[in-house]
Amino acid sequence: MLYEIGVLATSIIAGGVASVAGFGIGSLITPVLSLSIGTKLAVAVVSIPHLIATAIRFAMLRSHVDKRILLGFGLMSIAGGLTGAILHTQFATPGLTLVFGMILLFAGFTGVTGLSERMRFHGAFAWIAGAVSGFLGGLVGNQGGIRSAALLGAQISKESFVATATAIGLAVDAARMPIYFWSEHEGILMNGKWIAIATLGAVAGTLLGTKLLKRLPERAFRRVVSGLIFFLGAFMFYQGIRA
């Protein structure tokens, strides 16, 4: 019973974090759930609450989507992410996770210190940033954090930031879900309890987090997102060292 409460609490926090930072559901719930059902199956199971909570967040923020970034950075991020995901099983190594963590640590540090505010990307560079960030995220299996780190250079409002990151994440979910159901359908069907608990928590967290986003000052928003990216980087770095 304590473990179930822990999964629910983690899911609520994850939904809230994702509503503020544009990522967090998979990053937070998957490690916790993997303690019970293993990492591979946990990734597939969490994809369902991730999709549902992301769809709700998108419905609430869809009017703020930056179409220019979505059609440039976003499409390249999706293509890069799927390519990286396909290569994930062949090339994913502890060393790569370590490097990925270091990249997130650097991105989080520059955001917290304000250095990232001097960075801008547009035109062809935005397409390159989208492809590279998506590819790295797909290769390591954690696309949300690196996508938000790259989007910090877009210099858009907090609502557009989260809405655009959410739209990209939703497209990635739509592309990867059939793969998960094809390869892990039996395991998914056997873990309906975890899907229900994680979905309930993620949806509740999404509703609470969206309200928090409205009250968060623009400058504080960038610091919060950068801090979350930094902590995700530290976690990935630790995973790489431990492996």
Residue ranges per structural domain of the chain = 2-242
d(CA 233, CA 109): 10
The mean pLDDT value for 71-75 works out to 86
Nearest to 207 by CA among 31, 106, 56, 44: 56
∠ CA 201-202-207 to the nearest 5 degrees? 100
What pTM was computed for the model?
0.85
Going from the C-alpha of 229 to that of each of 100, 147, 192, the distances in angstroms are 11, 10, 30
pLDDT of residue 74: 86
Q: Quick one: which of 48, 19, 25 has its CA closest to 225?
A: 19
Residue 161 contacts residue 151 (beta carbons within 8 Å): yes
Average pLDDT in the 31-36 region?
A: 88
Chain CA centroid to CA 215, Å: 22
- pLDDT tens across 185-234, in order? 898 999 999 999 999 999 999 999 999 999 999 888 988 998 998 998 89
pLDDT value of position 141: 61
Phi, psi torsion values for 54, nearest 5 degrees: -65, -40
- Is the pLDDT at 108 greater than 90? The verdict is no
Has residue 114 got a pLDDT over 80?
A: no
**CA distances, 234 to each of 12, 20, 46 (Å):** 22, 19, 22
Residue of 23 and 139 predicted with greater confidence: 23
